[in-house]
Every structure is written in structure tokens, then in C-alpha cells.
Structure 1
Amino acid sequence: MPGDPDSGQALPAVSYVMPVLNEAAHIAAAVASLTAQDYSGDFEIMLALGPSTDGTTELVEAMSAADPRVRSVENPLGTTPEGLNLAIQATSNPVVIRVDAHSALPTDYARIAVETLQRTGAANVGGVMDAVGVTPFEQAVALVYGSKFGLGGTPHHVGGQEGPAETVYLGVFRRDRLEAAGLFDEGVRRGQDWELNRRLRTMGETIWFNPALKVTYRPRSTLRQLARQFLSTGLWRGELARRNPTQNSIRYYVPPVMVLSVVVGFVLGLFGVGQAIAKNPPWLLLGLFAPLFYLGFLVFATVTVALPHGLRTALQFLVVLPCIHFCWGIGFFFGVAKLTSNIQAYTGR
């Protein structure tokens, strides 16, 4: 039928959906990247507005007044999965394109995504999160995102071969498949993409990675924001690992194992120092191997990845990399231990 992704008669209309909370610094650029798409089909933009305190709501109201294609729906809780579901339910086009307020879509994104949906028959397609920083701190965060030393060098961070995938960044969905899966799980504050894609794959659907879909992502700009983000990310990854113990890649367990090794090794090393002072065999000093190994790893990663981008960025990288590793790993333990709700007030959405 006309407008269906596979009808071949007309380009299907698309609905851009975006949860928004305290994004005054990024929302204008994110929305501008949608209205600038070279996709010739019809489109609508639906923003799920959380209770922002930085003027985001007023900015969105001004954009809506200037362009009626930009609409909004209230998201009282301000969380990502609720916001996505509210925005999806407030739209009706057969293709749903998830957008993040920290992202800017290239002008050919919708066109390539819809072509990929039609060519592959996939339920969801996505591409690369291309982190780009402006300040030395943001540049360091972007380097961690794109490095195998940071987030593991996964395809949706560094690119790779086109084909079926476990999950993808953001997502361009066939509405009927998305609705059949039950939309996003509102009980999962982070990692809801992975959880939804797991359900789609369980239904026999295909998740498709296309590296031509490269989305510019703006990293967090302060250490506090970054720590909260990755503590929350690790927390919910631990929660998902507990819920689905047989469906998680081994890479998700590397940060918590590293944190445990470094902390236990450091404590054993301190006891080893006590042994040496007491003139006993200081065999517990061997525990220091783990923190020293991580320190060496940190220096090696900084020299090879960040130093070519300048000394200031390299110095920030020395702080950013362990912040991400340790916050993610510590959060993972909280999630596995069913302590998700206990620290959710700190980590936020």
C-alpha cells in the first residue's frame, strides 16, 4: 500500500522521535539536522519534553511556532523509554526514526536508512555513533568512544562491515514490527535499545547495521556529567545481564572484572606492605600487579590514542578513560546486585 516501506509506490512517511530533558545547548542543532534531511517523503518531528530547568521547553515552543512540523508531547517523568514511547504513540507514520538530542543526523540519513529497510527487510537499521568533541575534555571522551581501549571498538562506535547485528545505535524501525514487539521497556532506563533489539531478534526479526549511517554525537562536557552517564549505563547493563544471563557479550563483563581486580589487588598490596614492615614474607605484594598493570595500560592507551591529538587532550584522556571504566564497572555490580533503584536518584534517567 502507498506509504508502506516495501510498497515500491511512494517513499514512506517517517516520524522522528526524540526524548528531551535539559538539552538547551543541543536541541536546536538536533532539530535542524532533521529539517535539513534530503529525504523527499513526508515527515513529522515529535519531541517528548521532560521537566527541563534550563530553558529547553521554551526553545522547543519557539521552534514549534516557527515550524508546525515540529511538535511535542509532555513526558512528566523525563526518562528516555517513557519519552520514546510517548513520542511514538503520538505519531503514525510507517517508519519511526529514533533521534538523540546529543546527536546530529547527516542530511542523507533518512534516505539511506529507508533504502536499507526496503533492501534488507530488517525490522530495525542503524549505524555508527560518531562522537565529536569541541573542548579538550570532549575530544578525550570522543577518543574513548572510538577506541578499543575505551568502549571495546564495537561496530556502532568505530564502523565495520554491513550486515545483521546484535544491536545498533539509535534505530530506524518499521512501525508495525516495533509495535508488535511492545515498544521500549519503560522499566529499563539505559540499554533500552539492546533490550528492544533482543526482543525483536527473539521474534525472528533482523537488526541491520549499515556503516553508511553515521550520526554525529556530542559527548558530555564535564567529568560529573560523564560519571553520572556511565554509572547509569553500567548499572542498567548489570540489570540486563541479571535478567538475561545467557544473552550478553563477554565484553560487558570486562569493566567489572577490571574494577574488581584493581581494587582487590590494591588492598592485597597494602597488606603486603604490612607484611614487609612486620618482616614477614611480603607475598601479598603480588596483588599490586593488577593496579600496576592497569596503570601501564592507561599510559599506553593515552600515548597511542590521545597524545597525537595534543597534550591537553591527552591529559584529559588520562582522567576520562578510568572514569568511564570504573563508573561503568561499579554500576554493573549495583545492577547485578538488584540495587538499581537505590542509586537511580543519583544517576538520573
Structure 2
Amino acid sequence: MPDGSNPFFETETASDSLDRVLVVIPTLNEADTIESCVLRLLADEQVFGIPPAAGGGMLIVADGGSTDRTCDIVSRIANSRPAGQVRLLHNPARVQSAGINRAVARFGSGRTVLVRCDAHAEYPPGYVSRLVDRLRERDCASVVVPMDSLGQTGFARGAAFILDTPLGSGGAAHRGGTASGYVDHGHHAAMDLDWFRRIGGYDAAFAQNEDAEFDLRLAAAGGRIWLDGAIRMTYHPRARLSGLCRQYFNYGRGRAATVAKHRIRPRLRQMLPVVNLLLMLATLTLATVWPPALAWPALYILVVSGAAIVSALRIGPDGLWAGPALCAIHFGWAIGFLLGTGRGIAMTLLVGPRPKEDAA
């Protein structure tokens, strides 16, 4: 059984058959988007049409120390809603995984479903209630959803186009796909809170890739994950090249931490950017004495240029940004993964391997 030292381990039972929903939005300086995000979610009358005390949903904004107007906006919304329906929670650890765990520990008593949302996303009408319905229809531990990328700047529009292709996403089923079915991983949406508590919630040591790491433990414990192609959300990519590169660097570093923790082999599609980076470095070095080695960098440039041209033909001149975006995705992820792997090896040599978690 789970260790009682973790405050959200105790299983709660609702007083009736109505699912009591806890929606959590981790934030950090989201003043530009948080109001529209929260109001879209609150418009779901099936979940938020009644007060929390009567079984209605609760929405928690777990803020990691915003220095803009995020907290003021959330407080204003909270004051306009029924008591306890919207709450602002301070997240001193700042990372999303810790913020969600903290929200469940503080407000999860009596709640049966956790819905995780992102302040950078747009959600369709009835999003939360549809997730809860599907969670129960499928009798699964988690429902994940596809992400449709939508850029709001010239660069972001090019990035959005390429992100929803196999070149940009590596063929991940939840990136622009339409199929439904049981999967190993997807964009986190709804989770049965009993399952969440049972496996210990998110690993708060993970600032990135906490969702994939969670799904590994969930699957190992017997939990099933349903990807629903009909329930979709719109994701806004980073507005600048530097932001996208930093994001994918962090993704790669997070994936390396997951690989090290669970001692698993990355999938081939995840290793292709790493192989490409190493080949680029090797062939560029070799080309100083053997010029034909430039064939590999030339081939990569040809692929990236072709992707940019196709994107431009599909969405207009902004599509040319798909080329630089693709490089940021590939090289950012690969460098992050390699540095994360090196850090993991160094830590193991210095302090020894991380003890395995008790899955009982």
C-alpha cells in the first residue's frame, strides 16, 4: 500500500455517485492567457454549474511565483464565483509537477477526478465534462488528448505547422492525430484520482517529462491510458525561436532523467535527433580531411529546406519559419538529452544509483 508520508495517498470516496472534479492549472507569469483559459473552463455548466459544496467542480491555479498580474487576475475571478470554486494556491517549488501534487494534497479530499490544464492552451466547450464521461465510459486510469498547434506570431505559425507532422513530433499519436485507442503516453488531461494517489502522483523532482514518467509508473501498476481523438485542445507554441529551442532542450533533458530513473531504452524515434546531432558533428569534423563527409549535413539541410518550402506552400510565407523551428526542435532535444544523460552518469558515479521506488 502507498506510504502515508505522502499526503495525497489516502483514498477518498465521494458521498454519492457524482464525480467530484478537481481542475488544476499550474502557472508562472501567465497574465496574458490565464483569464481566458479559466473562463473557458468555468463555462462547463455540467461541472461548474453547482457549488463545490454540492458536488460541483473546483478549479485550482497553482502559481509558482508569478511577478506579473496572474495572481491578481485569478483572485478577481475567484471573488466573482461561488465560494471555493476557484482558488489560488502558492507553489513554492515552482515546477508544475510539485504544484499539481500540492493542489491534490490540499484540495483533493472528496474529489474523484483530476483534470490537468495548461494556461497556454485553448479548450473547447464542455471539455472537462467530456473528459470525465470518457474516463468512466472506458473504465480507465487516464484520458489523454491530441494537441492541435496554433501559432499567434509569424514564427509560431511556421512552428505550429511543423510540430503537427512526423518530422516535428516524431510521429507521437497525440500531436495532431485523429485516432482513438489505448496508448502508452499522451498529453495529460483527466486522471482517476484513486489511481493518481495509488502510484504517488507526479515525481516532483521532474521539472520536465513528468507526464511521461508518470505514465510509465501508471502502466507498470496496471493502469490503462485512453487517447480520445474526438476531445481536442489547441496549443500555442513558443513565439520565438529561442523559446522553442529552450523548451525542447528541457524536454530532452527531462527524457534523459526518465530513462535514467527507470533504466529503459529510449524509442528509436526519440533517438533519431541524437543520432543526427552526433553524425553532424562527426561528419563536419571528418570533412576537414575528407570533403565527401559533407553529404550528411547537406542531406539534413535539404530535408529542412524541403519542409520549409512545403510549409510555405501550405500556409503562406510564415511557413518558411518551419525550417528554423525544425532545427530548434531536433538540436535542442538532442543536446538536452545528451547533457541530461551525462549529468545522470556523473551523479551516479558521485552519489550512487537512485534507489528503486517501492511499487507496493
- Provide the alpha-carbon RMSD of the alignment: 2.2
Displacement of 1:315 in angstroms is: 2.7
1:32 aligns with 2:42: no
Tell whether 2:308 aligns with 1:291.
no
Q: What is the CA-CA distance between 1:107 and the residue it aligns to?
A: 1.1
**Partner residue of 2:175?**
157
Give the equivalent residue in structure 1 for 2:197. 179
The alpha carbon displacement at 1:320 in A equals 1.2
Tell me what 2:355 maps to.
none
Quote the Cα distance in structure 2 between the aligned partners of 1:157 and 1:220. Answer: 16
| Aligned residue in 2 for 1:48 | 62
What amino acid is the match of 1:47? V
Instruction: Name the structure 2 match of 1:345.
Output: none
2:59 alignment partner AA:
I
> Counterpart amino acid of 2:139?
G
Tell me the TM-score normalized by structure 2: 0.85
Paired with 2:298 and 2:63, the residues of 1 have a C-alpha distance of: 46
Q: Please give the per-residue CA displacement for 1:197-232, whole angstroms capped at 9, x wherever unaligned.
A: 111110111011111120111111122222221111
Number of aligned residues: 325
Aligned to 1:64: 78
Structure 1 residues 323 and 341, CA gap change in structure 2 (3 angstroms):
farther
Does the Cα contact within 8 Å between 2:131 and 2:189 map onto a contact in 1? no
The answer for the alignment partner of 1:347 in structure 2 is: none
Q: Which residue identity lines up with residue 16 of structure 1 in the other structure? A: V
State the match for 1:77 in structure 2.
93
1:256-289 CA distance string (max 9 Å, x none): 11111112211211x13xxxxxxxxxxx222211
- 1:45/1:165 CA distance change after superposition, 3 Å: same
Aligned to 2:308: 302
Match of 1:324 among 323, 329, 332: 329
User: Which consecutive unaligned segments of at least 5 residues does structure 1 have?
Assistant: 273-283, 343-349
Residue 120, structure 1, aligned to residue 138, structure 2: yes
CA distance in 2, matches of 1:247, 1:259: 18
Q: Is the 8 A contact 2:149 2:176 kept in 1?
A: no
The counterpart of 1:132, out of the listed 131, 147, 150, is 150
Give secondary structure in 1 for the equivalent of 2:146: strand
How far the C-alpha of 1:327 sits from its partner, in A, is 0.7
Q: Give the % identical residues.
A: 29
Structure 2 distance, partners of 1:118, 1:85, is 23
Instruction: Name the CA shift for 1:286/1:240 in 2 (closer, same or farther; >3 Å).
Output: farther
Q: Structure 1 counterpart of 2:319, which letter?
A: A
| TM-aligned CA deviation for residue 339 of structure 1 | 5.9
Shift of 1:144: 2.1
* Distance (whole Å) between structure 2 residues aligned to residue 217 and residue 39 of structure 1: 24
CA 329–50 in structure 1, closer or farther in 2 if over 3 Å, else same: same
User: Which range moved further: 109-118 or 43-52?
Assistant: 109-118
Note if contact 2:21-2:47 (Cα within 8 Å) is conserved in structure 1. Answer: no
- Conserved? CA contact 2:309–2:320, under 8 Å: no
SS in 2 for 1:212: coil
**Equivalents in 2 of 1:248, 1:339: separation in Å?**
15
Q: 1:12 to 1:4 in 2, by over 3 A?
A: farther
1:210 pairs with 2:228: yes
The C-alpha deviation readout for 1:152-199, integer Å capped at 9, x for no partner, is 232111224221111121220111110001000011111111111111
Question: Do structure 1's residue 87 and structure 2's residue 103 form an aligned pair?
Answer: yes
1:108 deviates by 2.3
1:156–1:236 Cα change, 3 Å: same
1:278 corresponds in structure 2 to none
Amino acid at match of 1:13: R
